[in-house]
Every structure is written in C-alpha cells, then in structure tokens.
A and B are shown apart, each in its own frame.
Chain A
Amino acid sequence: MMASSYNAKEEDGHNSGASNNGGAGVVKSKKPDNTAFKQQRLPAWQPILTAGTVLPAFFVIGLIFIPIGIGLFVSSNNIKEFEIDYTGVDINNPCYNCAKNFSWNSTTPCVCSVPFTLEQPFESNVFMYYGLSNFYQNHRRYVKSRDDSQLNGDQSALKNPSKECEPYRTSEGQPIAPCGAIANSLFNDTLELYHIDSNGTRNTIPLVKKGIAWWTDKHVKFRNPGGNNNLTVAFQGTSKPVNWRKPVYELDPSDPENNGFINEDFIVWMRTAALPTFRKLYRIIQKKSSTTPTLPSGKYLLEITYNYPVLSFDGRKRMILSTISWMGGKNPFLGIAYITVGSICFFLGVVLLIIHHKYDTRNNSPDIPN
C-alpha cells in the first residue's frame, strides 16, 4: 500500500534515464529470464489434420478392424451353445407345477425334469451356466447389502455385521452369517444332467464344481472365520440367512473343503451381475478323452430341484451349455461390430478422399493469398 520508493520527477523536456543511469550497477534488472519455458518457446510437435495423415488413418483402421471382425465372427460361430428355459411359466413346461406350488416353508423339494436334445456334439470342455432374467442384482440397495469384512473371516464382523446388511443383519437376535440381501437370495436350485443313450438308460454326467469362481475371490476375498477346520464351531452364535434351508457351513455336504464362505457356488453368486439378465457359471463338464466328444449329440435330461422362485417378479431361469474359444463364449456382437466399424472407416476414407480431391481449397504454397 505504501511503497516507499521515491523517484525524483524527471525534468520536463529532457529524456533523462536518471533513475537508471544513477544506480545501474545497484538496480537489479527485472528482465524476465530468457528460458524457452517462460518465453513459451518450448519445442513442440504441432500435428495438423491433413489429408496425408487422416485418410491413411481411416484406411488403416478399416484394414485392421475388418480382419479382426471376421476372425471374431468365425470363432464365435464355431462355439456351440445350448440354452433351455426351465422357469415353468408355460403349462406345458415340466416345471410348471413346481413353479406354481412353490412355498418357502415346504420341506420336500420339488423336482422336475426337462428333456432336451443336442443336435451337434459338444467338443472339449463344456461349461454349464444358470441364467436369470429380470433379476436386479445390480440394484444399488442390493449391491451394497453385504459385509466384505465378514466374508473375509473377520470375527468381529461375523458377530456384528455391517449396517449395510439391513434388513438381513440379524435374525432372532443372532447375527446372520453371511448377512445381507445378496447372500440371502442365493440361487439354490440344483441342476443335474443325464445323458439318455440309445437304450433309454440315464447316465449321470459328472459335473465339476471346482474352479468356477475367480481365483482372487476364492483365495483372498472370501475366507472362513478361524480357518477351515470345524466350521460349526466357528459359526456358532450366528444365524443362517432367512431364505436358506441350511446354514452356510453345510452348503456342500459332499466336500468339507467347499463349505462356509468359500463355497464356490456362494462366491459366484456373491459376484453381482452388471445387468438384470445374466448368467453365472454353475458347473464344468470336463473332457474325458480326446476321441469322444464331451457331450455327444443325442437326448439329455435336465433334472432340477426347484427351490428358487422367480415368477413372483416375472423372472426367468435358464440353463445354458456352452463351449468356449480363445476369446470366451459365443459372442457374435463383437465380430459384427468390428466388421461394421472397419467397413465404415474404409468407406469414410474413400468418401473423404473424393471430397478432398473435388473440393480441396487449400493450396500448398507457403504464403497466404490475400
């Protein structure tokens, strides 16, 4: 505010640089530094959109995308996929009765069998999925309704689950393990697959239930409280989720290593889907020998223990059998999309080339005509 410098008023009529001449040695020059940065002269690459750069780019994109698209399309077409809806909406559906008469309290499971025929043999490993439609696993309240600490084996969270789990946090005064809406709504239909050979006999097809979950989920994210030994003790003082028939430590009676939070079916369910129509890996049918197909063509029977009601909210349940290739399952969209985009790029390139040649207003002289 009060700068205290005083410069004598320069004499009128004289061009005296008095303030400078007097103390040139003393006065520090305020000249800004002559650096490329401060003078905004940093060396720089200045790309310009010219026909020489843009048009080839379009052609290159086209030429790259189209072959990729074709490759994807072909490999997707080679994948065999079979899908069957067993919800039981239709009166002709074998599961119609099960679906109609479902009640949460019934003790005897309802079983229905759906026969189907595979027209083509499925080579190599076959993956068996269950699919749900109109099931909003991505709803905000659903997604957050879990306690990852509890699922990670944290003792305090086991006894005192997170508030996010409400209203599936406690039941009859005891904390629910695993808590929350996701766990509560665990898909609990049991699917079994039989091959019916030419004689009409049913051969059980062995279904592998290991390796259907993410590695990190199985080994890092989900852990049983107090290790894997004696889960009954570990889960003492907790209550099973309301909809469940069995507690979490009895999920897989056949394999004691697959119980508690690290049950793979449970882990798969807990990985919520992004869209209301989704499929989840259920079982793997492993290839037995190199000569016979994993699933030869012919008649099959799908036997469902119908535990999971979806009709109330107009949901659908499916069973899907699929083989996979290097890029995963059947996915015709990606190939078509690539071919389309590639062709459009190529086409655009041609159109732009024509426009450029016809209407080019730019001259290549270094001067600008006025």
Chain B
Amino acid sequence: QYLCAKHEERRVRANDREYNEKFQYASNCIMTSKYNIVTFLPVNLFEQFQEVANTYFLFLLILQLIPQISSLSWFTTIVPLALVLSITAVKDATDDYFRHKSDNQVNNRQSQVLIRGSLQNEKWMNVRVGDIIKLENNQFVAADLLLLSSSEPHGLCYIETAELDGESNMKVRQSVSVTSALGDPNNLALFDGEVVCEPPNNKLDRFCGTLYWRDKKYTLTNQNMLLRGCVLRNTEACYGLVIFAGPDTKLMQNSGRTKFKRTSIDRLMNTLVLWIFGFLVCMGVILAVGNAVWEREVGSLFQSYLPWDPPVDNFLFSAFLSFWSYVIILNTVVPISLYVSVEVIRLGHSYFINWDQQMFCSQCNTPAEARTTTLNEELGQVEYIFSDKTGTLTQNIMSFNKCSINGKTYGTDPLDFTPFNPLADPNFCFYDDTLLESVKVGDTHTHKFFRLLSLCHTVMSEEKSEGELFYKAQSPDEGALVTAARNFGFVFRSRTPGTITTTEMGRPVTYTLLAILDFNNIRKRMSVIVRNPEGRICLYCKGADTVLLERLHPCNQELMNITSDHLNEYAADGLRTLALAYRDLSEDEWEAWSESHRCADKAASCREDRLAAAYEQIEQDMMLLGATAIEDKLQEGVPETIAVLSLANIKIWVLTGDKQETAVNIGYSCKMLTDDMTEVFIISGHTVQSVRQELGSVCLSLSLFSLQCPPPSPPPPPSNLMDNISGEFALVINGHSLAHALEADMETEFVSTACACKAVICCRVTPLQKAQVVELIKKHKKAVTLAIGDGANDVSMIKSAHIGVGISGQEGIQAVLASDYSFSQFRFLQRLLLVHGRWSYLRMCRFLCYFFYKNFAFTMVHFWFGFFCGFSAQTVYDQYFITLYNIVYTSLPVLAMGIFDQDVPDQRSLEYPKLYEPGQLNLLFNKREFFICIAQGIYTSVVLFFVPCAVLSNATQSTGVPLADYQTFAVTTATTLVIVVSVQIALDTGFWTVINHVFVWGSLGLYFTIMFALHSQTLFKIFPNQFHFVGSAQSTLLQPVVWLTIALATAICIVPVLAFRFLKVDLKPQLSDTVRHTQLVRQKKRKPVGRSVGGAWRGVGRVSEGRLGTRGSRRSGYAFAHQEGFGELITSGKNMRLSSLALANFASRHSSSWIDTLRRKKHSHAHTPPSASGESSPPLYRLPLLFLAGE
C-alpha cells in the first residue's frame, strides 16, 4: 500500500515558486468547459461528426454533390442535417456556457496566500503549487493541501467531505507534528520543506509522500491531506501547502465521465438500424441489377432520345452509379430525424418526471429529478430492484416507541412534554401519559429506568446555549434512548472522562464515571459503573434480551416472565428491543473488580478475551428494570410500495450493510418476508464448503417443491427449472457467504437459487459486493436492473445497474450525483416505474413502430417506381416534399403521441400492477413487432404506388388533358401518403389531447398550405429553375378522380389494419385493453370511481393483519448498531472536544476499512482457513483508533 512509484514523483518546495515552476505543474485554474468562442464551431462539429449517424448523412451529402449520382437535390439532406446539428450545437453551447460560468465562479474565489511573509488575497486560479494557504472555518479547500498547522491542539482540523465522497459527517485531519508547531505566518513564511510524493491520481483515500525538512524525513499519508472540495469545519483556521492544484487535484481527477448508459431499446434500435442499412443495400443492389439489365436491353436502344451521360460508357458503370443514386433516395428509411425525435421524446418524459407533484416530497422540498434523459423507457422494463436498507427503506430514524417498566407496558397516546419539562426535545413523540404520570409521581422503578438510559450510553452532548442540547450518538437507536430519558426528565447534559452530568427532574446531578463496559457484537450489551453523589456505586446495563436475561438475579423470575411477554409483543410489532438491568455494587466488590479489570486491560496477550472475561464477571446477578422498544422507522409507504412492485413481477433484493437480525426484521416489517412464506433460507457459512453445502440444501428443498428433482449441487440445475417453482421462498445471505457464492464456480448455482426465491436479502455486504451482485444478475438473467440507495456505499451499485436511483436524503449527495433518477422517498419508486416508466416504454414503442412504418411507406414507393422508370433513381415525389416529409409533415403528430400518449390513466396502472408486465417481457417493441411495422409500411407503399398508377394511367381531366403526367402523379401519391399516415397516427394515438389534435390537423393543414405555396406562381416567377411544380397542386387537387384515388388508397391501406386491430382487441385483449374498456364502461355507467385504488391491495392488508404469531427469526431484534461503542475513547479522555466530532469520523473510516478488510479477506481465503469465530468476524469491527493514539 505504501509503495510509491519511484520513477514518477512530484517534488514541491514550500514558498519557492521559482523552484516549483521548473516542473510546470498545472495551475489552480480549472477548466471543465470544452469550448471557447473560437473553437466552438470546429470542435463541436468534429465531435458531432464522430456520431456514426451524422457521418453517414455527411457521406450522403457528398454523394449528392456528384452530378451523375445525385438523384436528389443537395438540400434534401442538408436541411435535416443542419437542423439536427444546430439543435445539438445549441444544447452543447448552453451546457458549456453554464460550465464556463461555474468555472469562473470557482476560479475567482478568494483565498489567502502567504506571499513573502504576509497573507494576501488571491484568486483561486492564481494559487500555485508550493504556496502556503490559510483556510478559515467553513471555507472550501482551494487545492489539495498538505496540512501544516491549525488553530486546534495537536494540529488537528475537521473537514466535511460531502462534495468529495458524499459522506456528510466530519473527518479529522492532523498535521505532521513538526509542522504543527509553526503556528503563525512568520514561521510559516520561513518554512522551506520539500515534499516528494506520488503523481496526481484519483484515489481519494490514499496519499503517500515524504516531507524533507531540516535534513529529516517525515512520512506523509492521507491523514495529513486536505483535499479540494472539502470544507473546513469547527476549526478556526489552518495552513496548508499546495501539493496538487487545479486539474491535478483528486477531485478533478475523479470527475471523469461516468459510464454512458444505453437502454435496451437503444441497443435494439441500433441493431435494427443496421438491419435497415443492410436492407437498403439489398434494395440498392436489386435496383442496380435492374438498371444494368434495363440499360442493356432498353436504355442502349433508347439512346437516340436519351444518350448516356459522358462518363457512362456501358451498362455496368451505369448500374454502379445507379446503386449510389438509390442509396441516396432510399436513405429516408433511416431518417436523421429518428435520433433527434427519440431525444426529444425522452426529454419530454424526463420533464414529466421532474414535474410530477406526486413525486414531490413537501417535507424536504425536493421534487423528483431525472438526472439522465436517456433511460426513461427502460424504467418500464425493470425486473430486478436492488435496494439499500438504511435511509432507503428505513428513515434511519429510531423512535422510542414503547417500554416496559417493572412489568408494566407503556406506549399508546401522544404526549406533550413542554409543560412538564422545558428541556424536552420538541421532535420527540411518545404515546402514553401514564408513563409521564408515573415519572411525576416519582415511581422508583421508572426513575431508575430513565436514569439508566441517561447514564448508560456513549453519547456525546453539545450545548450551544442553555437548553439547546445536541446529542451525537454512535448509533441512532442509542440517541433515541438518551433522548427519551431527556424528555422524561432525566437529561444528559455533559460528560468528562470521569464524570457524567445530568439534570434529574430539574436537579443537576454529577455522577462519577468509574468504568464503561463497552458494547461489542459478542457481548451484545453495554454497562457503565457510576458512583452517584451520595457515593453509592451502581452498574447499569442494557443489552439484548437473550444475553441480559441470563444474567439476572434469580429473584427476578416473575418480572422476567412478564417482561419477556412484553418483549415478544414488541418484537412482533417489528420493534427493536433492549432489556435494561442494574446492579448495586458495594465498595469492596468494585475495588476487587477494578483490580482485575486493570490487570486485564494491561495484559499484553489476549487482551480482548481477558477484558471480556472481566466484564462477564461483574455483569451478574443484575436486577431487571424493564425493556425498551425502538421503532426503526420505515419510510412512508414502503410495505405498500414493495407489495405493488412485487405484484408487478419485479423482484426486490435488499442489499444492506446491516446485520442479519436487523435486515430480517426490516424484511418482515416491510412485507418482503411474510409468515405465509413456505420457507426462509438463511445462508451464513464462512467457508467455501459450508456455503456450497447450504446452497445445495436450499436447492434440494426448492426442487422438492418444484417436484422436478434436479440433482443437488453439481451440476447446478438450469435456471429455467428453478423458475417455475410453486410456493414462496426467501433467501437471506450474509456478506461473508456471499463472497464465496459470487465466485465463478458457484455463481450460477447462486443465481438460479436466488432467483427462484421471491425475496432475497443480502446483509453485511460491502459496496463492492453490492455492485457484484448487480453485475451477476445483469450477466446471468439479461434482465433490466434498478439499484436504489442513498449513501456513498450505494454508489458502486447505482453505477453498475442499468438504472440507478438516488434517494436524496440525509446521507450526502454522492448517491444522487451518481444516480440517473433521484427523489426523496422510496415509495415514489412505484410511481416512477409503474406510471412514468410504463408510459415511457409504451410511448417509445408506439413511436418507434409508427416511425419505421411511416418511413417505409414513404420510401418504398421509390423502389416500386424504379421498375417503371428504367431504374434511373427518379424520385416519385417533389424534392421539397422529400425534404419536408420527415421534419415538417409527419414529425409533430408522432412526437405528440410519443410524449403524451397514455393507454390507461396513472391510478389504474398502480391499481393493476400486472400492466407492467409487457415491458418486462419486451412485448411492445421487439424484432417481431418491427417486422410487422415494416411489412405494414411496405404494404402501404405498394398501395400508394400501384393504386394511383392504375387509376391515373388512363384517367384524364375533365378538359381531356391526361392525368398521367409525372407531376400530377407525384402530387397525388404524396397527398395520399400524408393522408394515410395521418389516419394511421390517428388510429395509433390512444390519448387525444388538444395538442394531438392541433398537431395532427395542423400537419395536414401545413402540408396543403406549403404545397400550394411551393406550387404557386409567385415563387415560380422568382426562381423559375427551382419550382418546377408550378400549378400542379391546383390542377391536380381540383380533379375528382384524384380525390377518389386518395380515398380508395386510404381505404385499402387502413381497412385491413382496422380489422386486424379490432380482432386482436376483441379476441385476445391485453390487460391494458381490458382496463381501458372497463374505464369506458365505468364512464358510461357513471359509476363513482371511489373504490379505485386498492383493488389489488386487499390481499396485502389481510396478510399484515393476520400476522400476529411470533417467529424466532424476528424475535431477537435488539437495538444496537453492530459497531463497537466509544467507551475507550471517552475514558481515554484524550481530547473531549475532538471526540464529539470524531464520532462521525468513526463511522466513515469504519466503512472504508471495512471494504479493505473484506477485500483482503476474500483474497486470503484461498490460502488460510478462516477462524471459526461464531457469528461475527472481529477483524471487521475493530475500530481504527490508532490515529488518535499516535503522537
């Protein structure tokens, strides 16, 4: 880890700009913008032409400039191309403008730089590597700095890294001890140390370098660095040496482009476009062969009237040219507007998501946000949801909900504390005033109960002004307990290493803190030993009931039974429980134990075990006080959402870092796990063999139910066998087992087993594993996955899933920044998927079907005409019509359909989650549907060509002038085409808003208006060479025969479609058709739609009500986080001010080291057999206290 690349290193000398300039390090000026005014056009165009589609159209444009090939005027391509390019350019320019603005804002921030011994204000962009900067509280760090000194003792300072890694808690940084003494600017100005360190990189959590100063070497680590993007907190000021500036900073190195996600429709579309190109080439070849034959048989003889163009001397060359000519003409099967339209539609859908009021959270004032505009339709195809637990399913808020004191249970009605206790926390709620009464009355047990809660904890307090208390707790449930005590009159005020000060019923009391017997995962309890002002010593203990009840004094038997009943009751409600007990200690007992404790503490070997034994010794014969029940508050609507989503056939996996009991508990409370389930499998093996064995047995019992008996373990049963298993199963797997299950030889077995289960909970997983699980499903199931989470630990999963959703909650913004969609409540997910996703998918599919149809109908007419015009690549339509067909005449109605169409209203799609299934099965747009559209398009083109052909060839005007001239034919065909595709879109549109009406009728109107304008005498008089069609519109459309032709062709095109659709709806109605139909029936019958929402719900409600019996799996939910407490920190008393802040730091360091440990563990597993350490793995949970102890 501390290996620095020697050959590439960075040298920085403090206060020596000349020296540092030699290396030409990047300045602190950042540039995220891509263009400036001069480079915009060339660079942007260059970028745009890297898109295959744009290059293709450019290629067509060049083809069109060759006169022998050009079958169309140059503008038929350049107008759409220019339109597309300019739209994109405008978008890029606006984006870049905002980047310029934010760059400017950042670059012009002021910072204080130490120049020649004095502090001067400088803009950020003028800060150089090697400068010394002074930072003040709440300032952003301007560059990556080496912390030299700070206003705090020991050269410590606190930073918040939310911008960097999304963790909103504070972290501690400490300077190297020799520099921390350089307190004031004068000393720092003389500092001339030289730093040699690694070159710029993007690793946020590591730095290695060496400081050379006064002939001594000092090792530098990440602990000494302040990274750009952090904010200095709770520190008056500090000084730092700029090591990396501007683009070299870790922040900028990390802001690489995120992986571009594509939807499956996108991929399908690209495949189809390739196929269409293939089709285009085939058509070209057929027509070129036709041309060769024609030129040989007819054209060569016809030369007296139509000689070959000079370069053409034989029919083969003519055929070659004709191939390219036809490529130009037929290119409209893949019009450039396809890509633009798709983008526009997606943008529209994204705006609808942003605008949705029902996805707006009024408490946190956050609307939903579609951060990517390219994934919307994939929201309608999700099959797997991977969810984080804390902060996503739960609010990460613990509320003290119920308690049992001395055999009496409390907790039903809401309470107002303020008249009783001015120090009460206004946000605390409790529902029982009998408890308050008993506190007021002075019931000893109740008082003891709350006294215990106010003393036995490791919470830090901060009192900014009198009465304004803030608690910093290591785990939220501990905070909830202390707050409960506070509200009931036992207020924890402050602590020192040796004392705890509380206010008991308005009276300040100071206890001497004798010992903290800290929590750990094996002990599952914590105790404090305090001496009260009267001098009596007492041990207060709280812990998991299973552990604590064993250690009670025998006289508690009766109370224990009652309390156990209460505990069962609480656990059945999904509450997290703790039992509380105390023990009065005599002075002698204390002295004796204290001695043995000291002994154990100093032991060089097996300190842990010996300490545990010492703790065990004193935590005996305790008196039971009662029990608490804490609610791990679920987010609003979580069980309902999960129920709806699973009805929509979406599988939900919970991936959490929490321990198994908590995870299972939450699984039950959010109805992922139910008592109706056939079996809940738990895999928690530590070795490859045990995991394999457990998986095998799960497989076996699954196959027993499926009655298809695949052999257990190797060879793993094929997944399709496992899919159709009756009965509901759930799988709970531990992180350490998962590490084995994810290995190559077991992963297929794991996937098939897990996918056969209705619910899967992976607990104690690392962020890396979360991503691995997502990748696994992506790889094996070819299904669309969605990951939802709120914390920095979810980022990897969010990034690797097809769709990442960030909950914009309390845990920083990292998850949101990495996500594609963000909102603030888990329950919005059902609306996002079932309403917006479903609609988006439906609209996109309908759009694509129609789009391909209309272009085939339009283009293939040329193919048929080829057989009648000597394969000469003569177009059927006027060139202006070809130019405008896709961008004006037919673009808006289909866009309106693509943006506004709805098959069923939103509340109905929530009511019938099964409506979501077509998306998952990819039914609405796939290769089959595509071929149907194409076939329909080709059929239409046949009708469009041959009907006018047959009618007009003999027809004459009423003046006797034949109608079979080219221009009349062109106008008739074009008009028929526009009318047919308009009728078709009218059939396809299921939701006619005003906008649809305006666009459909408007497009038709526009067609006639533009046609008459283009065929007008005025335009012809100005440009006689450009408007050959003068008078055609008028003379054609005045003929009744033409209108009869149009009507005939339209009927022939539409009637079969209509009949087919009617039959489909009538005989094989889809669920959406039925829902639509019932909607109509309802409207007709004018029935109140009162009972709409909840049709599908009744079943769920029944389950929840019916669930009263308790199960062992839910029983032992106890209220503690799985980390060790802060007992050691508090008693060490190193820096009390630090401690309150460092608390937060522990959590984050913990999580990062956790990953490392697990990674190491995973690698080492191959060689060393893991210790059989019961159900916890201690190396994972040892706190890194080293940096505090150091120096």
CB pair A140 B1080 closer than 8 Å: no
CB pair B962 A12 closer than 8 Å: no
Q: How far is the CA of A129 from the CA of B961 in the complex (A)?
A: 9
CB pair A12 B476 closer than 8 Å: yes
Within 8 Å CB of A137, what residues of B? Answer: 966
Q: Does A200 contact B (CB under 8 A)?
A: no
Chain B, range 710-728, C-beta contacts under 8 Å to A: none
Shortest Cβ gap from A90 to chain B (Å): 20
CB pair B964 A13 closer than 8 Å: no
CB pair A331 B955 closer than 8 Å: yes
Within 8 Å CB of B298, what residues of A? Answer: 134, 136, 313-314
Q: How far is the CA of A50 from the CA of B874 in the complex (A)?
A: 43
Closest Cβ neighbor of A19 among chain B residues: B364
Q: Does A10 contact B (CB under 8 A)?
A: yes
Q: How far is the CA of A316 from the CA of B255 in the complex (A)?
A: 76
Q: Does B595 contact A (CB under 8 A)?
A: no
Q: How far is the CA of A322 from the CA of B1067 in the complex (A)?
A: 52
Q: Does B496 contact A (CB under 8 A)?
A: no
Chain B, interface size category, equals 35 or more
Q: Does B398 contact A (CB under 8 A)?
A: yes
Q: How far is the CA of A216 from the CA of B102 in the complex (A)?
A: 62
CB pair A184 B425 closer than 8 Å: no
Q: Does A212 contact B (CB under 8 A)?
A: yes
With A141-B306, A166-B309, A367-B1078 as given contacts, are A2 and B1055 in contact (CB-CB < 8 Å)? no
Q: How far is the CA of A184 from the CA of B163 in the complex (A)?
A: 78
Shortest Cβ gap from B65 to chain A (Å): 14
Closest Cβ neighbor of A311 among chain B residues: B301
Instruction: Pick from A6, A39, A281: contact of B356, CB below 8 A.
Output: A39
Closest Cβ neighbor of A104 among chain B residues: B304
Shortest Cβ gap from B466 to chain A (Å): 18
Q: Does A288 contact B (CB under 8 A)?
A: no
Shortest Cβ gap from B650 to chain A (Å): 19
Instruction: Pick from A39, A50, A54: contact of B1077, CB below 8 A.
Output: A50
Within 8 Å CB of B1095, what residues of A? Answer: 367
Q: Which of A109-117, A230-238, A290-298, A348-356 forms part of the interface with chain B?
A: A348-356
CB pair B304 A312 closer than 8 Å: yes
Q: How far is the CA of A42 from the CA of B996 in the complex (A)?
A: 11
Q: Does A226 contact B (CB under 8 A)?
A: no
CB pair B479 A13 closer than 8 Å: yes
Q: How many A-B contacts if CB must be within 8 Å?
A: 364
CB pair A149 B1025 closer than 8 Å: yes
Instruction: Pick from B354, B471, B872, B1048: contact of A334, CB below 8 A.
Output: B1048
CB pair B477 A13 closer than 8 Å: yes
CB pair B900 A40 closer than 8 Å: yes
Q: How far is the CA of A314 from the CA of B305 in the complex (A)?
A: 13
CB pair A216 B1078 closer than 8 Å: no
Closest Cβ neighbor of B959 among chain A residues: A211
Within 8 Å CB of B991, what residues of A? Answer: 44, 46
Within 8 Å CB of A127, what residues of B? Answer: 956, 960
With A148-B1025, A329-B954, A329-B960 as given contacts, are A14 and B302 in contact (CB-CB < 8 Å)? no
Q: Interface on chain A toward B: helix, strand, loop, or mixed SS? A: loop
For A53-88 the 0/1 string (1 means CB < 8 A from B) is 010011001000100100010000000000000000
Chain B, range 377-400, C-beta contacts under 8 Å to A: 395-399
Closest Cβ neighbor of A151 among chain B residues: B1024
CB pair B1058 A54 closer than 8 Å: yes
Q: How far is the CA of A263 from the CA of B1040 in the complex (A)?
A: 28
Q: Which of B110-118, B1030-1038, B1166-1174 forms part of the interface with chain A?
A: B1030-1038
Q: Does B366 contact A (CB under 8 A)?
A: yes
For A152-182 the 0/1 string (1 means CB < 8 A from B) is 1010010000110011000000000000010
Instruction: Pick from A143, A278, A334, A366: contact of B1078, CB below 8 A.
Output: A366
Within 8 Å CB of A11, what residues of B? Answer: 470-472, 479
Within 8 Å CB of B1059, what residues of A? Answer: 54, 58, 348, 352
Q: How far is the CA of A152 from the CA of B138 in the complex (A)?
A: 79
Q: Which of A29-37, A188-196, A248-256 forms part of the interface with chain B?
A: A29-37
Within 8 Å CB of B996, what residues of A? Answer: 44
With A136-B306, A140-B325 as given contacts, are A341 and B1067 in contact (CB-CB < 8 Å)? no
Q: Which of B184-192, B795-803, B1081-1089 forms part of the interface with chain A?
A: B1081-1089
CB pair B302 A33 closer than 8 Å: no
For B1050-1091 the 0/1 string (1 means CB < 8 A from A) is 011001001101110111010101111111111001010000
Closest Cβ neighbor of B990 among chain A residues: A46
With A1-B102, A46-B1076, A138-B874 as given contacts, are A327 and B1040 in contact (CB-CB < 8 Å)? yes
Chain B, range 882-914, C-beta contacts under 8 Å to A: 900, 902, 906, 912
Q: Which of A92-100, A269-277, A299-307 forms part of the interface with chain B?
A: A269-277
Within 8 Å CB of A2, what residues of B? Answer: 102, 106, 140, 163, 229
Within 8 Å CB of B106, what residues of A? Answer: 1-2
Q: How far is the CA of A329 from the CA of B958 in the complex (A)?
A: 8
Q: Does A27 contact B (CB under 8 A)?
A: yes
Closest Cβ neighbor of B954 among chain A residues: A331
Chain B, range 382-433, C-beta contacts under 8 Å to A: 395-399, 425, 427-428
Which of A40, A185, A322 counts the most B-chain CB atoms under 10 A from its CB? A40
With A1-B106, A140-B869 as given contacts, are A147 and B1025 in contact (CB-CB < 8 Å)? yes
Q: Does A227 contact B (CB under 8 A)?
A: no
Q: How far is the CA of A242 from the CA of B309 in the complex (A)?
A: 17
Shortest Cβ gap from B478 to chain A (Å): 8
CB pair A40 B1063 closer than 8 Å: no
Q: Does B473 contact A (CB under 8 A)?
A: yes
Q: How far is the CA of A228 from the CA of B403 in the complex (A)?
A: 112
With A139-B870, A148-B1025 as given contacts, are A3 and B1044 in contact (CB-CB < 8 Å)? no
Interface residues contributed by chain A, number (CB under 8 Å): 125
Q: How far is the CA of A137 from the CA of B659 in the complex (A)?
A: 84
With A20-B363, A167-B310 as given contacts, are A324 and B357 in contact (CB-CB < 8 Å)? no
Q: Does B963 contact A (CB under 8 A)?
A: yes
Chain B, range 166-183, C-beta contacts under 8 Å to A: 168-169
With A2-B106, A314-B301 as given contacts, are A216 and B964 in contact (CB-CB < 8 Å)? no
For B460-497 the 0/1 string (1 means CB < 8 A from A) is 00000000001111011111101100000000000000
CB pair B1077 A216 closer than 8 Å: no
Q: Does B951 contact A (CB under 8 A)?
A: yes
Shortest Cβ gap from A62 to chain B (Å): 10
CB pair B1030 A279 closer than 8 Å: no
CB pair A355 B365 closer than 8 Å: no
Closest Cβ neighbor of B138 among chain A residues: A6
Instruction: Pick from B32, B325, B962, B994: contact of A129, CB below 8 A.
Output: B962
CB pair B966 A138 closer than 8 Å: yes
Within 8 Å CB of A221, what residues of B? Answer: 1020, 1024, 1030-1031
Q: Does B108 contact A (CB under 8 A)?
A: no
Within 8 Å CB of A211, what residues of B? Answer: 959
For B103-138 the 0/1 string (1 means CB < 8 A from A) is 000100000000000000000000000000000001
Q: How far is the CA of A129 from the CA of B955 in the complex (A)?
A: 12
Shortest Cβ gap from B816 to chain A (Å): 11
Shortest Cβ gap from B894 to chain A (Å): 17
Which of B302, B952, B991, B1087 counts the most A-chain CB atoms under 10 A from its CB? B302
CB pair B360 A32 closer than 8 Å: yes
With A31-B357, A42-B993 as given contacts, are A278 and B962 in contact (CB-CB < 8 Å)? yes
- New A-B pairs, 5, CB < 8 Å, besides A154-B1024, A275-B953, A368-B1074: A9-B169, A54-B1059, A152-B1020, A274-B949, A328-B1041
Query: Could you name 19 residue pairs across A and B whose Cβ atoms are closer than 8 Å?
Result: A14-B427, A31-B367, A38-B352, A40-B906, A46-B991, A54-B1062, A136-B298, A136-B872, A138-B868, A139-B869, A140-B872, A166-B309, A216-B1031, A279-B962, A281-B960, A313-B304, A314-B301, A345-B1055, A362-B1069
Q: State the A residues within 8 Å of B (CB).
A: 1-4, 6-7, 9-17, 19-20, 27, 29-34, 38-40, 42-51, 54, 57-58, 61, 65, 68, 72, 125, 127, 129, 134-143, 145, 147-149, 151-152, 154, 157, 162-163, 166-167, 181, 184-185, 211-217, 220-221, 271-281, 284, 309, 312-314, 322, 324, 326-331, 333-334, 337-338, 341, 344-345, 348, 352, 355-356, 359-362, 364-368
